[in-house]
Amino acid sequence: MAQAKLIIGGLVVLAFMALGLVAYHYKLEAKDALVARDAAIRDKETAEAVAKQNAETVGRLKAQADKDAALAAKLADQLADSNDHLTAEIDTRHKAERENEAARNFLNLRIPDSLLGGVPIRPEADSAARNPL
């Protein structure tokens, strides 16, 4: 009988030791979970800060793209105006060449090399070979 009491007592001690081991295991798991939670919170804060910076950068890029588009439109308008003016000047010159013999002779004169900065230009034989715009 004493031997049975010793065996039962040993089993009870063993059961309590197992229960203590399980409790210690869950305590360590809870501590690891807290560490993981803190790391997740830090990661979330970092991600939010990065997302905020990215949103600010996207805003600046959109503003710059709007400025670029406005500048491109302005330059396109200036180019169109310049082309219109150039076309009108060319038309006026061609009209003067066709209608006025003195103007045609003047426009066909050879320009001296000294005025061209040393770059020779061969005069064309007749005004018909020129671009008739």
| Cα 47-41-52 angle, rounded to 5 deg | 25
Task: State pLDDT tens for residues 70-108.
Answer: 999 999 999 999 999 999 999 988 887 788 888 778 878
pLDDT at 115 over 70: yes
Task: State pLDDT tens for residues 8-30.
Answer: 999 999 999 999 999 999 999 99
The length of the chain in residues reads 133
Residue 72 included in any domain: yes
Residue 25 included in any domain: no
pTM: 0.46
Contact (CB, 8 A) for 92 and 111: no
Give the residue, 97 or 119, on which the prediction is more confident. Answer: 97
Average the pLDDT over 53-68 and give the result: 96
Question: What is the tally of structural domains in the chain?
Answer: 1
Burial 109-122 (b: 16+ CB within 10 A, else e): eeeeeeeeeeeeee
Residues with Cβ within 8 Å of 74's Cβ and at least 6 positions away in sequence, in order, are: none
Beta strands in the chain, from DSSP E residues, in sequence order: none
Q: Report the alpha-carbon distance of residue 21 to residue 56 in Å, rounded.
A: 52
Domain range enclosing 51: 36-108
pLDDT at 114 over 70: yes
